């Protein structure tokens, strides 16, 4: 598949189909700058990670939602997707915590071939998977290496947040363009951080397995406490967040404000992750289990009051 890169990308030179980046966030912006010319359409999973949006805006592209609906298991409906130049996916998914469905990646490859789009898969949470399951790599899908890129980070698997070290792999032409734009925007990451990344990758598999198990324990502690309080929250299959419908329905921003004021608990309203996040809040698993149990207890204490408030507003 031949890619029509943005004008800037034509400065590229041949390099291997693998590259490092100064963290995934930087690479995500660079990919939009590399692929999109002003006015080009880019699809972003909705709900999804908001930092996909900024690179599209910087490139002058046009952002459109790729809806992830609960009735579809938060998987894309490729038959409904309009033609685009660029698509951002992310499984295990932030914010819902779902894993890729059985035809999600094959559908992405077929879509890319049909319309000539570049698929970018954000695998930041690929090692944080629960209940004995495994995360799926987009590049393992037949044909994926010809139509896109996959990015991953050291932040989640190895607790290296702030070290700004990420990896990209995929189509050689796209890696060439990514390396070229990086050459113009910044220099290579500090060598000691690269050595730390090598040490992380050389560490025993039990390191990553222990990290995943720790987040699973936290998930169970939080959701168990919320269930006892009367709030049914789906258990994510992976990642470091829970995606919860507002109890009884209603305004997620109002519910988040209520919890902050009355329970001293912070949750993120789902609309911050796209219009299809309305009616949900995101809860983080980045605190110890005891702290999450305390949060669940506090929420349980004020849920009856929330139901009364909601009843008055209905």
| pTM score above 0.75 | yes
What letter would DSSP give residue 261? H
Helices (H) and strands (E) in the chain, counts: 9, 10
Express each pLDDT in 8-50 by its tens digit: 344 333 333 444 455 678 889 999 999 999 999 999 999 999 9
- Quote the pLDDT of residue 179: 86
What are the structural domains of the chain?
A: 7-201 (3.40.640.10), 205-313 (3.90.1150.10)
Compare 15 and 56 and report the one with higher pLDDT.
Answer: 56
For the cut 90, the answer to whether the pLDDT of residue 291 exceeds it is: yes
- Quote the pLDDT of residue 23: 65
Task: Specify the long-range contacts of residues 222-225, CB closer than 8 Å, at least 24 apart.
Answer: 222/283, 222/285, 222/289, 222/292, 222/293, 222/295, 222/296, 224/296, 225/292, 225/293, 225/295, 225/296, 225/297, 225/300
- Quote the pLDDT of residue 16: 38
Cα–Cα distance, 245 to 133 (Å, whole number): 24
Cα dist from 173 to 36, 87, 100, whole Å: 15, 17, 26
- Quote the pLDDT of residue 19: 45
- Quote the pLDDT of residue 24: 76
Mean pLDDT, to the nearest integer, of 141-164? 91
Express each pLDDT in 263-279 by its tens digit: 999 999 999 999 999 99
Cα–Cα distance, 181 to 8 (Å, whole number): 7
Tell me phi and psi for residue 20, to 5 degrees: -95, 165
- Quote the pLDDT of residue 9: 41
- Quote the pLDDT of residue 4: 56
- Quote the pLDDT of residue 190: 84
Nearest to 139 by CA among 152, 150, 124: 150
For the cut 70, the answer to whether the pLDDT of residue 137 exceeds it is: yes
Cα–Cα distance, 190 to 236 (Å, whole number): 35
- Quote the pLDDT of residue 114: 97
Please give the mean pLDDT across all residues of the chain: 90
Helix ranges (DSSP H) in the chain: 24-35, 51-58, 104-115, 154-157, 172-185, 191-201, 205-228, 252-263, 289-313
- When pLDDT is cut at 50, 70 and 90, the band that residue 292 belongs to is very high
Residue entry with tokens 């500090």: 190
Nearest to 16 by CA among 239, 137, 176: 176
Mean pLDDT, to the nearest integer, of 74-81? 97
Cα dist from 238 to 98, 162, 164, 212, 290, whole Å: 6, 22, 22, 8, 20
Mean pLDDT, to the nearest integer, of 269-291? 97
Mean pLDDT, to the nearest integer, of 122-128? 95
β-pair type (41-46, 268-269): unpaired
Neighbours of 22 (CB within 10 A): 20
């Amino acid at each position: 598949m031949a890619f029509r890169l943005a004008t800037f990308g034509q400065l590229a030179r041949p390099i291997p189909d693998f590259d490092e980046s100064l963290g995934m966030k930087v690479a995500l912006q660079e990919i939009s700058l590399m692929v999109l010319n002003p006015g080009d359409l880019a699809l972003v999973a909705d709900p999804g990670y908001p930092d996909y949006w900024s690179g599209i805006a910087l490139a002058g592209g046009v952002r459109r939602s790729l809806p992830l609906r609960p009735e579809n298991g938060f998987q894309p409906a490729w038959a409904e997707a309009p033609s685009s130049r660029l698509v951002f996916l992310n499984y295990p998914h932030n914010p819902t915590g779902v894993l890729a469905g059985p035809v999600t990646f094959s559908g992405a490859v077929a879509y890319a071939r049909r319309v000539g789009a570049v698929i970018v898969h954000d695998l930041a949470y690929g090692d944080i998977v629960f209940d004995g399951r495994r995360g799926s790599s987009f590049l393992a899908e037949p044909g994926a290496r010809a139509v896109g890129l996959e990015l991953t980070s050291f932040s989640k698997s190895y607790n290296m947040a702030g070290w700004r070290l990420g990896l990209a792999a995929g189509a050689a032409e796209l890696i060439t363009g990514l390396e070229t734009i990086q050459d113009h925007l910044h220099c290579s990451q500090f060598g000691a951080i690269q050595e730390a990344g090598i040490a992380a990758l050389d560490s025993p598999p039990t390191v990553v397995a222990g990290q995943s198990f720790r987040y699973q324990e936290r998930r169970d502690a939080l959701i168990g406490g919320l269930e006892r309080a009367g709030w049914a929250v789906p258990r994510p299959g992976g990642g470091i967040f829970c995606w919860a419908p507002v109890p009884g329905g209603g305004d997620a921003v109002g519910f988040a404000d209520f919890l902050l004021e009355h329970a001293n608990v912070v949750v993120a309203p789902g609309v911050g992750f796209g219009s299809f996040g309305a009616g949900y809040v995101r809860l983080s698993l980045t605190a110890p289990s005891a702290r999450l149990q305390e949060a669940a207890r506090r929420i349980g204490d004020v849920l009856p009051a929330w139901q009364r408030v909601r009843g008055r507003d209905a």
